[in-house]
Structure 1
């Protein structure tokens, strides 16, 4: 009898301990607003668990306050987890490089990170919340809304509340294969399965398995009638189609120099070191990011293949190569052991984000041409890395980042002049301009301008230009555009087809035949903790080994 009388009283006391969310209501309202506009990778169930933790009735006011203090770091970590910001692994891996940034560049990044429009919108939401909460139980509305989001989101961890349109350039989404390139599509992967997280992971695994079987077949020796020529690979940091469009430089005279333009090329990464390694290992299929730092078969190393055929390896850069151990990675993981061409007497043109000089590219390219004129080497293969377009680069004597367009205009002018002088010199040179990755001049909902932690299509979709300087066949004036999806293996294959130099002596060269059936590669891009790939014509992303979600547009 005594126990039955205590039960109603205990139940009433339990219900009196419900205290609501209080200020945490505003926390969830901010998340709902960001989710509505597509700025969050929202983990609905995790947030519901956190809400339940905050609401669970506690009999002691002291315990309630202790829970509030414990919830502050938990709430911050969950908010970070719900954003597209780099995870702890990425921050730790890049932390050593951050120490090398100049103070002015770090301040510039902080200023870009703060979206003052969002700060203003959050302040307005706070005022409205404080005003409305006087009459409305906001906790009930927040709880119901979060439960509703979980109900409609049972199929996965992320939700999009609004219909979206693709922000990926049309050429990236173009999966159509011209009839004359049908044979090149033999490595195409089946994309008929629904885009579930399991199916996308299986597709990625099939991609890497298929890529392991692909290799460029170079001749073992050159025929006696081979024509000596030079190969100059100009590896440009921070140049994508999206950047070119942002600064309106598609009509620059530079593009008219090229014989071939790979317009649907994927650089496969958003960072310089991995980009350099991938390019130097272009003779084999695309590997995962982690495999870049493991030994590869010698037949994978593009410049090693050329060295075996008598091409002298050369290395040229307009910077020191110290930051991020870039030069070391080229040698250890890229297999390029050529000494760095002297920069003595070259005028510093800009200051890099880490305070080191960026040398004048016009003078460096002229030095290369002068050296080739004087040299007795019949064949050379030069890897030339340039960084004046890198984020944070500034004019000499200034502290703020120089505008991207003047730097791009200057580099394009210098390349245009160099190619003109090269054509006048009479030398026979295969020039391949291939960017490392884009600059992210225009940010998106996942990353602010300049950030490349996530290799989005706008960052990895880069222009590749090929020019045969010194051919007997006249230059057509407009490049042949190859629209099929290509990547690094296509460059190696193209070089292998002309390595005997006979293309320079031919009276007529059909560029369509020369580029026929170039290896096609599905769009898969990877940094240390992020993978972005195209599936069924749409970009998908996986962060830190988690589930796949549609790339937010």
Structure 2
């Protein structure tokens, strides 16, 4: 019994400092300072309390250290922008399909020697300073202060001040700022408000659909539609490779400069494009049944356009071809690749066939065919990360691959113009290649559909018009997405655009449906709100996309 009525104190020997865990937290503080962490302040404070809780015996202390190691690693992973466990499990089968050379390339890319060097310097400084200063006290106070900031709001910001303008933004002009009805962004960007806005966005998109005529008029003109769906091509990639001035881009009559592909992966991108006749849906709803009117190629088939499918790869990896058929409802047989020379080797070791030869085969087949109208979905992957030259085990540079592909497309469009055929060509990339990584993910990764990945160039060309082409492409800078593609197609299905003596592209593209920037993969949603990108991972809280 304590006769003096004083509270009993724990023996001083029971209290132990953080020891090496100090470096663990200092490393996190450093990464947080430079914006490389999605730091969970309360979780780290609880972990620190667990490490500091006084234990009576050295044996219990050792047991705690062993338990803390996997817990600390898991918490560190949780604090990064790296894919979560659900994402890794969902991508596990695809990872197993990567070639060993590509996996090694990814590992080498993942290692950042500059950051490893900086961590070593921090370790030496910690060991040196710890001789005189109780680092545990400083780490504890810093972590408590971070929790106070989290609760009280940004009264004082630990992070360096950044410009309000994101590093990669879509090219908004004043006309593009007009949000669809009910989707204003005036509310403060709290996590609850952002979630409510996203729900309103999907509610609004469910009401939108393209109207196609029930039948073509008697004076309609036959023509072909060719949708060229290029994997791994964004404006950011084009800028990194300095290919904006390539002659290819001068071929087009219309450029959608502010187009959002809405995803960072090929399968979902293909499904979204094939379902372009309805408003944008969530990622999970892509794999559920939908209204028949949503299928762009089905709408065209009802008007007499024969469906065709062309690819420069096998379509086996990631069940890509299977997803096009089951979730995109594209049942056309795959155009034969027999006799087409392999041009590259894909990241999974399968061949990537020569696109120049494939496009020429399409033109030859259409010239011989008796079908008056056709609608072709053509998927290309020579720009995909990990693609290599024949016989090589190293990933080929993206810029030379892109230049070859652009040259092939340029030659094809030139030959198409000489052929006299009437063809509507739409170049609609799936997503970007992520040539330049950011603070959330390294180059080549697309688990998070950032604006730099989903902001893609869309070009539309009418080959065989009677009307003269304008000198420069008409650029559309309002925020558009897949519904705009379907809308433009619906406006020209009668083919009169090819027969008219004059064509005003501005009238053809007037009042295209605008779509706010919302992009989604399996476990990540990125959207633009009040001119800034915001991200939600694994259904958690929204945070500003780190710049």
Instruction: Say yes or no: TM over 0.5.
Output: yes
Residue 155 to residue 227, structure 1, CA distance change in 2 (3 Å): farther
Report the equivalent of 2:123: 126
Query: Could you tell me the TM-score, scaled by structure 2's length?
Result: 0.97
Residue 277 of structure 2: aligned partner: 283
Q: Deviations over 1:151-184 (max 9, x none)?
A: 1121679976111125646761626216xx97xx
Distance 1:169 1:346 in 2: 41
2:182–2:200: 8 Å Cα contact kept in structure 1?
no
Pick aligned residue for 1:82 from 79, 83, 86:
79
CA distance in 2, matches of 1:402, 1:329: 28
Match of 1:459 in 2: 453
Rounded to whole Å, the distance in 2 between the matches of 1:280 and 1:259 is 23
* Residues 240 and 438 in structure 1, CA contact (< 8 A), matched pair in contact too: yes
Aligned length: 546
**Structure 1 match to 2:228:** 234
Aligned mates of 2:222, 2:167 — CA distance in 1: 39
Q: Deviations over 1:200-226 (max 9, x none)?
A: 000000000000000000000000100
**Distance (Å, rounded) in 2 between the aligned partners of 1:16 and 1:514:** 80
Decide which of 413, 436, 440 is 1:442's aligned counterpart: 436
Instruction: Give the one of 352, 356, 371 matched to 2:350.
Output: 356
The 3 A distance-change label for structure 1 pair 313 and 161 is same
1:520 corresponds in structure 2 to 514
Q: Partners in 2 of 1:403 and 1:22 — Cα distance?
A: 46
Q: Cα offset for 1:17?
A: 1.3
Match of 1:37 in 2: 34
Aligned residue in 2 for 1:18: 15
Name 2:101's counterpart in structure 1: 104
Deviates most, 143-152 or 323-332? 143-152
Aligned residue for 1:153, secondary structure, equals helix
Task: Output one character per residue of 1:381-422: Cα deviation in whole Å (capped at 9) or x when no partner.
Answer: 000000000000000000000000000000000000000000
Distance, in Å, in 1 between the alignment partners of 2:359 and 2:207 is 37
Would you say the 8 A contact 2:173–2:477 is kept in 1? no
**Deviation for aligned residue 1:18:** 1.1
Instruction: Give the Cα separation in 2 of the matches to 1:406 and 1:24.
Output: 47
Q: Is the 8 A contact 2:479 2:514 kept in 1?
A: yes
1:172 is paired with a residue whose SS is: coil
The root-mean-square deviation of aligned C-alpha atoms, in Å, is 1.7
Counterpart for residue 381 of structure 2? 387
Match of residue 411, structure 2, among 399, 417, 437? 417
| Pair 1:549–1:187, CA change in 2 (3 A) | same
Tell me the equivalent position of 1:165. 163
Mapping of 1:176-191 within 5 angstroms? 176-177=174-175, 186-187=180-181, 189-191=183-185
Look up the match of 2:543: 549
- CA distance in 2 between counterparts of 1:529 and 1:166 reads 26
Q: Which of the residues 140, 145, 162 maps onto 2:142?
A: 145
Distance (whole Å) between structure 2 residues aligned to residue 174 and residue 187 of structure 1: 18
Unmatched 5+ residue regions in structure 2?
none
2:272 aligned with 1:267, yes or no? no
Please state whether the residue corresponding to 1:177 is helix, strand or coil.
helix
Deviations 1:437-486 (A, max 9, x none): 00000000001000000000000000000000000111113100000000
| Distance change >3 Å, CA 351–CA 150, structure 1 → 2 | same
Any conservation in 1 of the 2:171–2:258 contact (CA below 8 Å)? no
In 1, distance between residues paired with 2:386 and 2:363?
30
- CA 1:509–1:155 in 2, change beyond 3 Å: closer, same or farther? farther
1:116 counterpart = 2:113: yes
Structure 1 alignment gaps of length 5 or more: none
Give the 3-state SS of the residue equivalent to 2:428 in structure 1. Answer: strand
